[in-house]
Amino acid sequence: MTLIRLTRACAVLILCAGASTQALAHNPMCECKEIPGEQIQCTGGFSDGSGAPGVTLDVIGYDETILVPGKLGADSTLTFKKPSAEFYVLFDAGPGHVVEIDQADIQAQ
């Protein structure tokens, strides 16, 4: 009986170890760049290579007003006219999955 219990315990540990690799965290990623026509294009996704269609991406002024409310499209991008006011971009995929990009960090054309 002891050998059977030990075998079962080992099997349970192996199954748990395998399941835990599926629950590994994936970090949010977002990149914004200027494109022609006074536009900014942002692309969001996760470190596991998955995209982020439908994830909230808002353009927010330094006074905390939302200048451009948005969601990433099917291709995980959002393009918007560059605001005249100072701003930052907030990629928000939920608790622990937030990225802020300040206008100063956006690549120029």
Instruction: Supply the CATH number for residue 65's domain.
Output: 2.60.40
Residue 19 domain-assigned (yes or no): no
The residue whose two tokens read 């300040």 is: 102
Q: Does 16 have pLDDT greater than 60?
A: no
Residue 11 domain-assigned (yes or no): no
3-state helix, strand, coil in the chain (%, to 5): 20, 40, 40
Nearest to 32 by CA among 95, 96, 88: 88
pTM: 0.76
Stretch 35-59: mean pLDDT, rounded?
A: 96
Number of structural domains (the chain) is 1
Task: Note down the domain range covering 53.
Answer: 25-105
88 vs 105: CA distance, rounded Å: 9
The residue whose two tokens read 């690799």 is: 21
With beta carbons less than 8 A apart as the criterion, state whether 52 and 44 touch.
yes
Q: Does 106 have pLDDT greater than 50?
A: yes
Residue 17 domain-assigned (yes or no): no
Please give the mean pLDDT across all residues of the chain.
Answer: 84
Residue 74 domain-assigned (yes or no): yes
- Around Cβ 87, how many Cβ atoms within 10 Å? 24
Residue 31 domain-assigned (yes or no): yes
For 98, residues 6+ apart whose C-beta sits below 8 A from its C-beta are 28, 90, 91, 92
Residue 53 domain-assigned (yes or no): yes
Residue 67 domain-assigned (yes or no): yes
Residue 80 domain-assigned (yes or no): yes
- What phi and psi values does residue 105 have, to the nearest 5 degrees? -95, 5
107 vs 93: CA distance, rounded Å: 23
